[in-house]
Amino acid sequence: MALLIMLRHGESEWNRQNQFTGWVDVPLSSKGVEEALKAGELIKDIPIDVIFTSTLIRAQMTLALAMLKHVGKKVPVFLHEGEGDLEKWGKIYSPQAESHTIPVYKSWRLNERMYGELQGLNKAETAEKFGKDQVKIWRRSYATPPPSGESLEMTAARTIPYFEETIVPFLRQGKNVFVSAHGNSLRSIIMDLEGLSQEEVVSLELATGSPLLYEYNEGVFTKKELQNG
């Protein structure tokens, strides 16, 4: 048995300004920092062996802030696989120091859905221009992408193989995994884990800074309740 924690990043500056963000790499807002710290309180007593995140700063900030609250007091260390000298020169030579770290793997496959020509636009103004129903389809539907962007289906085509091929093997080994990512990259994974239909996923909304907990046992994921404190 192993545990999987999934966390949508805290509020970003563009969440605060009600703008489509996608792959634009904006940081957390002040509220987002607070949300990340509160999320850390919720997961602080759960042992964590390995962390996965996207290449976007809002997800990375969230995990770093959340881990400040963790009772294990281990330091998240961001790995730079395939990044030349950054990978080579970032080697830890002290076994004792390394034993007090948690490896953090980054991948663009966990990035938010790319919103194409909507990125940077105000959501309310976009709804006025194109209609609320059309914008809801772009934001929540499974197969319809925004202009020049990704649909949830297209997002799932990168997130689910990465999850199954890279993250699940750690769970099979009995390792507890923490994934800090984004609303739509996590929606696509949850859709697969919970067997949601294309119609059901439309209403799936993930709040910023609210961790989800799943128990993994012999290939089966079971959603669990998180207890505060």
Of 9, 35, 150, 182, catalytic: 9
Count of residues making up the chain:
229
Tell whether 158 is in a known binding site: no
Tell whether 114 is in a known binding site: yes
Tell whether 139 is in a known binding site: yes
Tell whether 203 is in a known binding site: no
Tell whether 10 is in a known binding site: yes
Under DSSP, the state recorded for 46 is S
Tell whether 112 is in a known binding site: yes
Tell whether 15 is in a known binding site: yes
* Contact between 63 and 95 (Cβ < 8 Å): no
Of 70, 112, 150, 182, catalytic: 112
Strand-pair category, 220-224 with 212-217? antiparallel
| 9 carries an active-site annotation | yes
| 112 carries an active-site annotation | yes
Tell whether 8 is in a known binding site: yes
Tell whether 122 is in a known binding site: no
Tell whether 138 is in a known binding site: no
First to last CA, the chain: 22
The CA distance from 210 to 6, in Å, is 9
Starting at the edge strand that comes first in sequence, how are the strands of the sheet with 50-53 ordered?
75-78, 101-106, 50-53, 177-181, 2-8, 212-217, 220-224
Please, which residues have CB within 8 angstroms of residue 211's CB and are 6 or more apart in sequence?
Answer: 5, 6, 7, 39, 42, 43, 66, 226
Tell whether 111 is in a known binding site: no
CA dihedral angle for residue 13, residue 4, residue 73, residue 98, rounded to 10 degrees: -110
The CA distance from 219 to 172, in Å, is 8
- Residue list for the binding site for substrate: 8-15, 21-22, 58, 112-115, 123, 139-140, 183-184
- Residue list for the binding site: 8-15, 21-22, 58, 112-115, 123, 139-140, 183-184
Which sequence positions are flagged as catalytic? 9, 112
